[in-house]
Amino acid sequence: MQAAIYGLAGLELTDDERAFFDDVDPAGYILFKRNCADRQQLRRLTDTLRGLHGRADLPILIDQEGGRVARMRPPEWPPFPAGEAFDRLYRLAPMSAIEAARMNARALGLMLQGAGVNVNCLPMLDVRQPGATDIVGDRAYGGEPMQVAALGRAVLDGMASAGVIGVVKHMPGHGRALVDSHKELPVVNASAEELEIDLEPFERLREAPMGMVAHILFQAWDGARPSSQSPVVIDEIIRGRIGFHGFLMTDDIGMEALSGSPGERSAAALAAGCDCTLHCTGKFDEMLDVARHVGALTPDAESRLGRAMAGTMIEDDGPAFTEAAAKRDELLALV
């Protein structure tokens, strides 16, 4: 398997995509709004991808957080609340908020499974900081690290009950960024001691099966390289200090926080210790460039991916979608 996860251009595979993916055998795929029209189309697409590789546990990812970050949208699919809704309830009734987050994630997981999607880029464990860019904003579970970790754990558990794997993001923390990494490189000047707050939720959820590393330059750890391309951040902070040993992917390698071609960016991230690069645009020429720079998953990365995806093969006997969503709504109504 190639150490890359790719986006797709549209609602179905093109002939060029089919030939390319058959040749390179990527680690997985990620879907966006441009790939999601209705239930029948989306299920047909995910079935096609699995049929192409003959892998029942093929990772098919999506960013379906709720709120403003949702690829599967109404009226075809129901809306889900943003992280801030659970933050508000937690400050009033912590246990109710944890159960609401778990039921929400359970319902979300059931919806994704029905579409053939088995990995969701959630929970977001960034600790919200005053004055930071609103790219985090209402997506966050709060500004207190233990609360963020507690709600994040509930989200992981809820999705896992439906056979959907969660990806903790954005390691080692996006909450202090003053600019949007989609547009430029954030530089964080906080001290190592101050950054302990940002690390805490990731440390508490260090056993998560998958993680995503941000494109942020942390002066306290590596003043020369963004975190996704820094051996110091990946080895000493994420693998060492946090103790995360799950499958580690980059954030979208196409973000303007990075310089160089998509392939050069990907090669730098893999050399720094990421298991896999995440290329999201669906642009075919960029995918060819990534493929020229990226080799196979390392044996350790392939093992980590296998352990993660084992969680998609479960016997599911939890509450149905309607029941889980109703319980979530009942609890959120307490605020």
Active site residues: 182, 251
* Alpha helices for 25-177 (secondary structure H): 39-53, 83-92, 94-114, 145-160
Q: How far is CA 113 from the centre of its chain?
A: 16
Closest CA to 203 of 180, 171, 166: 171
Q: How far apart are CA 206 and CA 180, in angstroms?
A: 26
Residues in the chain, how many?
Answer: 335
Closest CA to 111 of 139, 54, 73, 82: 73
Tokens 């109404």 belong to residue:
74
Tokens 């707050």 belong to residue:
197
Closest CA to 118 of 153, 165, 83: 165
Q: How far apart are CA 164 and CA 113, in angstroms?
A: 7
Residue 106 φ/ψ, nearest 5 degrees: -60, -50
The tokens for 53 are 């590789």
Q: How far apart are CA 147 and CA 202, in angstroms?
A: 12
The two beta strands, 217-218 and 2-7, are unpaired
- Are 308 and 80 contacting, i.e. CB atoms less than 8 angstroms apart? no
Closest CA to 252 of 49, 70, 30, 83: 30
Q: Which residues pair with 248 in a beta bridge?
A: 211
